[in-house]
Amino acid sequence: MATDALTPARTARLHRARLALPLVLLALLAPAGCDAAGGDPLDPTSADVAEDADPDAGAMGGVKPPCPFTAAQVSEIVGQSMRDDGNCLFGDGKGVASLAVTTASPAAGKMTYEYQYDQAGKQYEKVVDLDRGEQGYLAVKDISGEAVLIDGKGTYTVTISSFGGGTAGNEKILRRALDAIPA
C-alpha cells in the first residue's frame, strides 16, 4: 500500500491548504496594521474603526458575508446528515464527507479569481463557467469539487469532498449549494 495515498482526510487538508493560499496572498498585499484614517484597526474602541469591521473592507473594499448555511440546510443540500464543525465547515461526523464555504468581499474574490480558476483547471476533470453572479465557476472530479461565486454581496468558495457520487454527483451537490446561496 502506498504511503502517500489520497485519503479523505488528506484530501480535506489539501483543499483547506489550497483555499488558504489566496488568503495569504491577500494578507501580504494589505498593509499590516495601517489605517489611512488614523484609527487603530486592532482597537475596537477606536473612533475610526467600524463596529462590524471586516478585514477585507480596507484595501480589498466591501464586506465579507456571513456563512450562508446551517447544518440543516447543508444536510438537505447533500442528502445526508451533516453537522456544523464551526467556521462554515460541515462534516458527516465520521471524518469522511465534508462541505466547506469560505467567504470574502467581492473585491477580494476578484483579486484571486483568475488564480483559483487556473488552479481548478489543473486539479479537476471538469471546469464550467457559471451563468450567475458577476463571475463564477464550478469544478469537479470523482471525489471532490469546488465552486466560486462572486456577486454583489460577496465571494463564496464552496468545496466538497468524499460524498461518493462521482463527478456527476459532485456537480449536482455544488449546483444545489450555489442555488441555496441567497441572491
Convert the pLDDT of each residue in 59-96 to its tens digit: 456 899 999 999 999 999 999 999 999 999 999 999 99
The grid coordinates listed for 94 are: 465520521
95-127: pLDDT as tens digits: 999 999 999 999 999 999 999 999 999 999 999
Place of cell 488558504: 20
